[in-house]
Amino acid sequence: MRLNKENIWTDFNSFIRRNRRRFLVRQNPKAIWLTGLSSAGKTTIALALEKEIQKKGYFIKVFDGDIMRTGINKDLTYSLEDRKENIRRIAEITKIFLDTGLIIICSFISPTDEIREMAKSIIGEKDFIEVYVNCPLSICEERDVKGLYQKARKGLIKNFTGIDSVYETPKNPNIELKTDVWTEKQTVKYLLEQIIPKIKFKTFI
């Protein structure tokens, strides 16, 4: 019986290639996964964090829910089944980008424990940083400049998270941000302090 050495060498070579890329870009690629209700502040935080991390010389990319929904995932609805498929595709793409050495900020509602665990399992637990953008539903509704919550309350939008579709609060997120209490500047400063040690380049990981 032939030994399955090919898989061993494939895994080893993949490990070498990825660490070579880390050495070239001098950073430790991670997926910074922002989850929370609509209007909790995910996109605002993602873009501000991207800017601050870039200032420190890191290569980073933001994946945002609205943008993905107009392109690669425009065929999906907002049913829980399609939400799961939405996140599955994003997680697979994120994993590919991480392998190139990039740091990725993912800004998605990701409403259930099952969906977030699926994303983590695809990307890999050691590369997945779950950030819970915690903001009460009432505050999110006040901030909603698009009027989506109001339309959902009137039944004009179906399967809207927090209204007629579930959002399960993360039980043990790596980082929690209270955006109803902290200012944007305070929030991003705190998040940056938590993230930098995790993405800082290390020779052996």
- DSSP assignment letter at 170: P
Q: Is residue 7 exposed (0-12), middle (13-18) or buried (19+ Cβ within 10 Å)?
A: exposed
Dist. CA 91–CA 164, nearest whole Å: 25
H-state helical runs in the chain: 5-25, 42-55, 65-70, 80-99, 113-123, 137-143, 148-153, 184-199
Is 39 part of the annotated catalytic residue set?
A: no
- Closest by CA to 90, choosing from 126, 60, 66, is 66
Q: Determine which one of 110, 121, 138, 165 is catalytic.
A: 110
| Residues with a known catalytic role | 110
